[in-house]
């Protein structure tokens, strides 16, 4: 008995033109979805197995935009990180990739060259960190570049090597504060980092620190002691500040090539740094 007309199933195959239209619609949807997807954040991780020449070029490019600086002190370090080929060694255990040092507020860490063709020691979680280099930012390619840093505030301070970031060359300093002891005052006042770059073809920047609040004045004079430019002349709080000189005189004119001196005047402190300007 044949099915009644009400229950008859009619199978129809779509026409080729319909199939083509559906495929085109699907491709269009995928293209629109891809276009609306947020772009992946830009990364700056150095490639692995860089040549020595590439490392030097990458280091020069970084420090042309980020002036090297640290708090150099005469305080004896309580701990140290020594560069290995692709790690910072603190615990003398090569199986630990990311070593951690635990210190107290006011104590000092030594960053020491041990091995490798070149390294950098930069505070922050990595080169994509917007605050990378805020506390310290130094090259460490040989023993002459060893440096210390005194940690004046409690907290967790990560750091990394720009050139070996792809190898996860990082470290951590955990700074604790004894009960009832807050952040310490800065250990000294003056130039935290010298004028950089030096020599320069345009301008320089430097970092200064005040251990007490007060008036800060930074001027540029020529070899005869004549005033060339006033870079800074105002009250500042305790802490660090970055100041720049664009290589121009008091009236905005480009000054000629030669030797100049940046004179820093702080409460109860005076210092001068030499700058070579090339054109």
Can you list the alpha helix ranges (DSSP code H) found in 113-195? none
Q: Within a domain: residue 15?
A: no
Question: Is residue 253 predicted with pLDDT exceeding 90?
Answer: yes
The strand pairing partners of 123, in sequence order, are 159
Same domain membership, residue 222 and residue 163: no
Write out the residue range of the structural domain in which residue 156 sits: 52-176
Q: Within a domain: residue 63?
A: yes
Same domain membership, residue 167 and residue 241: no
Dihedral sign from CA coordinates of 259, 232, 273, 203: negative
Same domain membership, residue 158 and residue 195: no
Same domain membership, residue 120 and residue 196: no
Q: Within a domain: residue 75?
A: yes
Same domain membership, residue 196 and residue 168: no
Same domain membership, residue 162 and residue 197: no
Say whether pTM exceeds 0.75. Answer: no
Indicate the residue among 151, 176, 201 that finishes a domain.
176
Q: Which residue has the higher pLDDT, 115 or 237?
A: 115
How far is residue 192's CA from residue 176's CA, in Å, rounded to a whole number?
24
Same domain membership, residue 162 and residue 79: yes
Same domain membership, residue 143 and residue 76: yes
For position 236, which CATH number holds? 2.60.40.4070
Strand 204-210 to 190-196 pairing: antiparallel
Same domain membership, residue 234 and residue 143: no
How confident is the model over 164-221, as pLDDT tens digits? Answer: 999 999 999 999 887 666 555 555 678 887 788 888 888 888 888 887 788 999 999 9
Same domain membership, residue 167 and residue 66: yes
Confidence of residue 41 (pLDDT cuts 50, 70, 90): very low
Percent of the chain with pLDDT over 90: 33
How confident is the model over 71-128, as pLDDT tens digits? Answer: 656 678 999 999 999 999 999 998 899 999 999 988 899 999 998 878 999 999 998 8
What's the domain count of the chain? Answer: 2
Same domain membership, residue 67 and residue 103: yes
Give the per-residue pLDDT at 22: 56
Q: What are the residues whose beta carbons fall under 8 Å from the beta carbon of 161, sequence distance 6 or more?
A: 83, 88, 119, 120, 121, 122, 169, 170
For position 166, which CATH number holds? 2.60.40.420
How confident is the model over 257-268, as pLDDT tens digits? Answer: 999 999 999 887
């Amino acid at each position: 008995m044949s099915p009644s007309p009400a229950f008859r199933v009619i199978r129809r195959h779509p026409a080729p033109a319909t199939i083509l239209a559906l495929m085109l619609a699907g491709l269009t949807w995928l293209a629109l979805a891809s276009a609306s997807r947020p772009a992946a954040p830009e990364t700056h991780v150095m490639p692995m197995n860089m040549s020595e020449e590439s490392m030097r070029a990458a280091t020069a490019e970084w420090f042309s935009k980020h002036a090297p600086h640290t708090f150099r002190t005469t305080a004896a370090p309580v701990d140290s990180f020594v560069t290995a080929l692709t790690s910072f060694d603190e615990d003398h255990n090569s199986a630990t990739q990311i070593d951690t040092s635990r210190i107290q507020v006011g104590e000092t860490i030594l960053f020491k060259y041990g091995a490798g063709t070149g390294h950098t020691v930069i505070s922050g979680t990595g080169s994509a960190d917007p605050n990378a280099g805020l506390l310290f930012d130094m090259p460490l390619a040989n023993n002459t570049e060893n440096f210390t840093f005194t940690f004046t505030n409690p907290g967790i301070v990560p750091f990394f090597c720009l050139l070996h970031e792809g190898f996860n060359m990082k470290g951590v300093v955990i700074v604790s504060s004894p009960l009832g002891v807050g952040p310490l005052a800065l250990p000294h006042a003056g130039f935290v980092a010298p004028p950089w770059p030096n020599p320069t073809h345009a301008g320089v920047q430097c970092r200064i620190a005040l251990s007490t609040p007060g008036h800060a004045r930074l001027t540029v004079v020529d070899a005869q002691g004549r005033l060339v430019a006033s870079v800074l002349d105002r009250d500042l709080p305790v802490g660090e500040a970055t100041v720049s000189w664009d290589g121009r005189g008091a009236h905005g004119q480009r000054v000629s090539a030669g030797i100049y001196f940046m004179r820093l005047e702080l409460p109860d402190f005076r210092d001068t740094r030499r700058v070579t300007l090339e054109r």
